[in-house]
């Protein structure tokens, strides 16, 4: 028995090494990904449920590398955050997304907005505000067409974040709270930050048509947000029955596979909204 235990331990050790090795390889490749131009942005429509039309796009990063293949953002963004690579990557995302938006504005999609995810780590970058201003100027768009999406994080310096968010608000940039309801301090965020939109996390949307208590949670979030003067975006809408319920409860906007998956820029203009 003793011998077997030891073997098991060795197997476990080897597996740990394999995982650590993979992460190290991802990190090494990630360091060269920007200059090799391995990132692209995909865009997912955000649909206004009153008008039944596309109101905006959310930019979502994609990475494909020769050695490590396609790595989803949930896997490489945390590594980019740990290593600080999120700073140059985040700048590339913002500039690329806003230049794309400018192109759409000039080609028939005049009022489209662009939502860009901002990592909490970027709030510790000393020149974040200057970088955002520069990206807006570079693309020559009005700041009100940009929305920043932030998630809650336990490691966040709330004081620092609220100073930056207030400056962004002054500039006219929109602010969304992403994945609302999944964190630790959602409600205190609403009190402390100048939020415009709240995105209901898709875990609360998934079963709303089958599960009464999930429906109650979603409708309560919508009511609360409206009482605070915020608009509500439902994430992860995949079916017509989810959409119908969200409409009934006066959810303002929706996003999800029901309308479209995130797609390359060339495909975005061809998306048609189905009700």
Residue 122 binds to Ca ion (criterion: CB under 5 A): no
149 binds Ca ion (CB under 5 A): yes
Query: Exactly one of 91, 152, 179, 215 binds ligand C2E (CB under 6 A); which one?
Result: 179
# of chain residues touching Ca ion (CB under 5 A): 5
Does 260 interact with ligand C2E (rule: CB under 6 A)? no
CB 255 within 8 A of CB 221: no
Please report whether residue 91 would count as binding ligand C2E according to CB under 6 A: no
What residues numbered 228-247 form the site for Ca ion, per CB under 5 A? 235
Q: Based on the shown chain and the rule CB under 6 A, indicate whether residue 60 belongs to the binding site for ligand C2E.
A: yes
Give the x/- contact pattern for ligand C2E in 100-129, rule: CB under 6 A: -----------------x-x----------
Q: How far apart are CA 191 and CA 48, in angstroms?
A: 26
Question: Smallest gap, in angstroms, from Cβ of residue 243 to ligand C2E?
Answer: 11
Q: Tokens for 54, please give them.
A: 């596309």
In whole angstroms, the minimum distance from the beta carbon of 178 to ligand C2E comes to 5
**Min dist. Cβ of residue 9 to ligand C2E (A):** 35
Radius of gyration of the CA atoms of the chain, in A: 20
Cα angle 220-113-219, degrees, rounded to a multiple of 5: 10
Q: Using CB under 6 A, which of 43, 225, 262, 268 touches ligand C2E?
A: 262
The answer to whether residue 178 forms part of the interface with Ca ion (CB under 5 A) is: yes
User: In this chain, which of 38, 48, 73, 134 binds ligand C2E, going by CB under 6 A?
Assistant: 73
Quick one: which segment of 18-26, 48-56, 106-114, 250-258 binds ligand C2E (CB under 6 A)? Answer: 250-258
Distance CA 245, CA 251 (A): 9
Is 150 a binding residue for ligand C2E by CB under 6 A? The answer is no
CA–CA separation, 52 and 274 (whole Å): 8
Residues that bind Ca ion (CB under 5 A): 117, 149, 178-179, 235
Residues that bind ligand C2E (CB under 6 A): 44, 59-61, 72-74, 77, 93, 117, 119, 178-179, 202, 236-238, 255-257, 262
């Amino acid at each position: 028995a003793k011998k077997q235990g030891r073997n098991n331990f060795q197997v476990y050790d080897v597996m740990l090494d394999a995982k650590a090795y993979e992460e190290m390889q991802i990190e090494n490749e990630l360091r060269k990904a920007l200059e090799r131009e391995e990132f692209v942005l995909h865009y997912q429509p955000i649909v206004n449920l009153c008008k039944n039309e596309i109101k905006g796009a959310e930019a979502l990063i994609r990475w494909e590398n020769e050695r490590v293949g396609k790595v989803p953002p949930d896997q490489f963004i945390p590594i980019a955050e740990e290593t600080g690579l999120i700073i140059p990557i985040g700048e590339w995302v913002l500039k690329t997304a806003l230049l794309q938006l400018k192109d759409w504005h000039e080609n028939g999609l005049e009022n489209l907005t662009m939502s860009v995810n901002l990592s909490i780590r970027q709030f510790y970058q000393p020149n974040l505000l200057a970088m955002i201003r520069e990206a807006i100027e570079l693309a020559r768009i009005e700041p009100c067409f940009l929305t920043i999406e932030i998630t809650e994080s336990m490691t966040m310096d709330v004081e620092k974040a609220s100073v930056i968010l207030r400056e962004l608000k002054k500039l006219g940039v929109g602010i969304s709270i992403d994945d609302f309801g999944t964190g630790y301090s959602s409600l205190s965020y609403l009190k402390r930050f100048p939020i415009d939109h709240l995105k209901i996390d898709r875990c609360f949307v998934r079963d709303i048509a089958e599960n009464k208590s999930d429906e109650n949670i979603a409708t309560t979030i919508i009511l609360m947000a409206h009482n605070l003067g915020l608009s509500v975006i439902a994430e992860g809408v995949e079916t017509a029955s989810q959409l119908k319920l969200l409409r009934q409860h006066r959810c303002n906007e929706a996003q999800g596979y029901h309308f479209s998956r995130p797609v390359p820029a060339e495909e975005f203009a061809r998306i048609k909204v189905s009700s």
